[in-house]
């Protein structure tokens, strides 16, 4: 990670593959999901065509981001197999997979560890109060279920990204308690690479009628998060959701040091296109910040990876340096 007193800001050159948009959850702020059975699954053939087009474009991370098939569905195993095969395909073509597909079983996580250099799941907020509102029809948003996922990732030594969604009906105290829980998990296992602080940004598909989280509050949240989280955890903010350049710089001054995966489209927030890297440099460099590409696994975690994955990381790392 980059230290808070460093003038270096990192990002991952990334592309997102979506196995399916269908999801059994109905989060009222969601701009991603489709009804079960209404979203065709991504085929390996189409994925390979796209990945081959990306091979000379400087992409290192392939984010596998999916809607969720119910754990008890007869289609769950096929869905999981497709995710595994997409990771295998990405690896075979020289990319580094990072999977974020909702809560998984311990065995599913253990299996995906063999083909992912890192994984992720947003904790969002630990308060159960949201189960009465925005998560009322979202069974996999039970806080304990998601917290268990983070704990299993630690037990399995999977480098992990998690985060908070801000402005979905929680309180400030909920922020600090959720961050403290993440800090405790990292103290137990040492596996959290990054914590994303993602402001709710209304989109055209959501059913929840609520304003955007005020990005002017972000520096305060980041500053407090930096006090709660261990220094080994990087704080990440999505630059496409902080459109005011002055406030983006204020977020960095407050302690954020990573801008996440930057690619052609933000699948979770499709109404907010990613900034181009050169546009970000034009904002950051005059203020004394250096924007640097990184891999989706941090160097201190490489020893946790299977030998095959270590070789893939070393190969891509050499290419990025050169």
| Alpha-carbon span 132 to 136, nearest angstrom | 5
Q: What is the CATH number of the domain that holds 258?
A: 3.20.20.70
Give the pLDDT confidence score for residue 317 in this predicted structure: 76
Residue 318 is assigned to a structural domain of this protein? no
Q: Domain tally for the chain?
A: 1
Residue 308 is assigned to a structural domain of this protein? no
Question: 192 with 162: CB under 8 angstroms?
Answer: yes
Give the pLDDT confidence score for residue 4 in this predicted structure: 61
Give the pLDDT confidence score for residue 76 in this predicted structure: 97
What's the domain range around 39?
Answer: 8-303
Give the pLDDT confidence score for residue 320 in this predicted structure: 65
Residue 129 is assigned to a structural domain of this protein? yes
| Alpha-carbon span 304 to 295, nearest angstrom | 15
Own/partner long-range contacts of 169-176 (Cβ < 8 Å, ≥24 apart): 169/129, 169/130, 169/133, 169/134, 169/210, 170/125, 170/127, 170/129, 170/130, 171/127, 174/125, 174/126, 174/127, 175/125, 175/221, 175/224, 175/225, 176/224, 176/228
Which run of H or E residues covers position 250?
A: helix 245-254
Ranges of residues in the chain whose predicted pLDDT is under 70: 1-5, 318-322
Residue 67 is assigned to a structural domain of this protein? yes
Question: 292 with 13: CB under 8 angstroms?
Answer: no
Give the pLDDT confidence score for residue 6 in this predicted structure: 82
| Alpha-carbon span 296 to 12, nearest angstrom | 6
Could you tell me which residues come within 8 angstroms of residue 107 by beta carbon, excluding any fewer than 6 positions away?
none
Residue 1 is assigned to a structural domain of this protein? no
Per-residue burial over 50-73, b if 16 or more Cβ lie within 10 Å, else e, is ebeebeeeebbbbbbbbbbbeeee
Alpha carbon of 180 to those of 66, 67, 123, 189, 258: distances in Å? 28, 28, 12, 14, 20
Residue 79 is assigned to a structural domain of this protein? yes
Over residues 222-274, the pLDDT tens digits come to 999 999 999 999 999 999 999 899 999 999 999 999 999 999 889 999 999 98
Over residues 211-229, the pLDDT tens digits come to 999 989 999 999 999 999 9
Could you tell me which residues come within 8 angstroms of residue 132 by beta carbon, excluding any fewer than 6 positions away?
none
| Alpha-carbon span 205 to 137, nearest angstrom | 16
Residue 138 is assigned to a structural domain of this protein? yes
Residue 321 is assigned to a structural domain of this protein? no
Give the pLDDT confidence score for residue 319 in this predicted structure: 59
Which run of H or E residues covers position 194?
A: strand 192-199
Bridge-partner residues for 120, per DSSP?
161
Supply the DSSP symbol for 276: P
Which two tokens mark 65? 């981001």
Give the pLDDT confidence score for residue 45 in this predicted structure: 98
Identify which of 22, 25, 59 has the alpha carbon closest to the alpha carbon of residue 39. 22
Give the pLDDT confidence score for residue 264 in this predicted structure: 87
């Amino acid at each position: 990670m980059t230290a808070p007193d460093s003038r270096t800001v990192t990002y991952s050159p990334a592309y997102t593959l979506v196995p399916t948009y269908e999801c059994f959850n109905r989060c009222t702020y969601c701009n991603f999901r489709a009804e079960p059975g209404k979203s065709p699954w991504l085929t390996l053939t189409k994925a390979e065509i796209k990945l081959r087009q990306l091979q000379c474009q400087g992409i290192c991370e392939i984010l596998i981001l999916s809607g969720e098939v119910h754990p008890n569905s007869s289609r769950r195993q096929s869905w999981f197999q497709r995710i595994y095969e997409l990771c295998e395909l990405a690896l075979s073509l020289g990319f580094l997979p990072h999977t974020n597909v909702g809560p998984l079983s311990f065995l599913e996580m253990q299996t995906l560890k063999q083909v992912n250099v890192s994984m992720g799941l947003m904790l969002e907020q630990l308060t159960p109060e949201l189960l009465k509102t925005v998560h009322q029809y979202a069974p996999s948003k039970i806080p304990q279920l998601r917290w268990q996922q983070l704990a299993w990732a630690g037990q399995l030594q999977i480098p992990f990204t998690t985060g908070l969604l801000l402005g979905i009906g929680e309180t400030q105290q909920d922020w600090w308690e959720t961050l403290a829980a993440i800090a405790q998990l990292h103290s137990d296992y040492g596996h959290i690479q990054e914590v994303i602080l993602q402001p709710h940004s209304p989109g055209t598909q959501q059913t929840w009628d609520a304003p955007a989280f005020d990005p002017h509050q972000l520096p305060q949240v980041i500053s407090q998060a930096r006090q709660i989280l261990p220094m080994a955890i990087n704080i990440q903010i999505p630059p496409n959701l902080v459109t005011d350049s002055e406030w983006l710089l204020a977020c960095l001054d407050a302690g954020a040091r990573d801008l996440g995966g930057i690619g052609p489209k933000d699948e979770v927030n499709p109404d907010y296109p990613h900034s181009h890297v050169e546009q970000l440099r034009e904002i950051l460099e005059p203020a004394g910040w250096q924007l640097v590409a990184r891999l989706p696994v941090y160097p201190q975690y490489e020893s946790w990876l299977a030998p095959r994955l270590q070789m893939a990381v070393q190969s891509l790392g050499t290419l990025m340096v050169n």
